[in-house]
Amino acid sequence: MVKVNKKYKDRLFRMVFNRKEELLSLYNAVSHSEYTNPEDLEIHTLDDVIYMKMKNDLAFLIDDVLNLWEHQSTWNPNMPVRGAFYIVEEYRKYIEQKGLNLYGSRLITLPIPQFYVFYNGLKEEPDNVELKLSNAFSTLHPELEPCMEFKAVMVNINRGHNKSLMEQCSALREYAEFVARIREWMKAGADLLEAIGEVIDSCIRDGILAEFLSSHRAEVFEVLLTEYDEQRHIASEKEASREEGMQAGIRKGHREAAINLFERGLCIKDIAVICKETYCLIAEWYEEWKISKGVSR
């Protein structure tokens, strides 16, 4: 049994907006600006800060505005708290890179922070919601004024929401449509591998993320899948052979997936990426599959 990767939309969002052209297009739509040069963007995305174990989806600087962007497939009221951690680390990096003196007599200048959370979960939410860090503060002392605030703007990017924003950014509109089609197939009870292939094919035909899906078909497959259910392969195994049974089960699941992909016409190289197996092993399974089907290629 193949399961949908619960984090697939987060990873897919980063993949789609990894190119500066798409990133700038979405920024213009969100901020009502008209920047034309993608090179004006300076990427600042946090990448697994070792001592804090933090990683955000997208962060970039443009015209002295520091933008923090997160994608969420589940509703999370704690995003301002997370955003506060992100912005502190971003400012630490910025101050260090610019050589600013925090202990001098002159006031330093920092870029203006903006924090957007792009939401496309199943829970129905309005087009836009402002979330505040102060919402998380204790209410035991109402007479005290908090010394800090941090805001996150939640933007609903499900199909049918924020129509004006979608009209201004075709990449966002097409991303929302792709996700919606995957959901529709899964809701109808379709086989996951079939659903992914059909949605990718239909989107390419309809000009929805066509260039991206054509160029990154194997990577998109990998993002949409999770590991196979290991436990079902080792349920009847004794504790002493648990590890061996687990590995055998994983390999069996990968082989079944590879056969499904052979029948869909994917090449061995792409299937090796999707199944996370060696090229040689996939080629061996391919030859066995050809013999079983009487295929001659």
Tens digits of residue pLDDT in 53-97: 445 678 899 999 999 999 998 889 999 999 999 999 999 999 999
Confidence of residue 213 (pLDDT cuts 50, 70, 90): very high
Question: By CB neighbour count within 10 A (0-12 exposed, 13-18 middle, 19+ buried), where does 254 fall?
Answer: buried
Under 8 Å CB-to-CB from 240, ≥6 apart: which residues? none
Are the C-beta atoms of 151 and 133 separated by less than 8 Å? yes
Residues forming a β-bridge with 128 = 155
Residue 30: φ, ψ to 5° = -75, -40
> Which has more confidence, 226 or 288?
288
User: What mean pLDDT is reported for the chain?
Assistant: 83
Q: What is the pLDDT of residue 3?
A: 44
pLDDT for 115 beyond 70: yes
Find the range with the poorest average confidence among 35-39, 64-68, 88-92, 278-282: 278-282
Q: In what order do the strands lie in the sheet with 128-132?
A: 42-43, 58-62, 65-72, 112-119, 151-156, 128-132
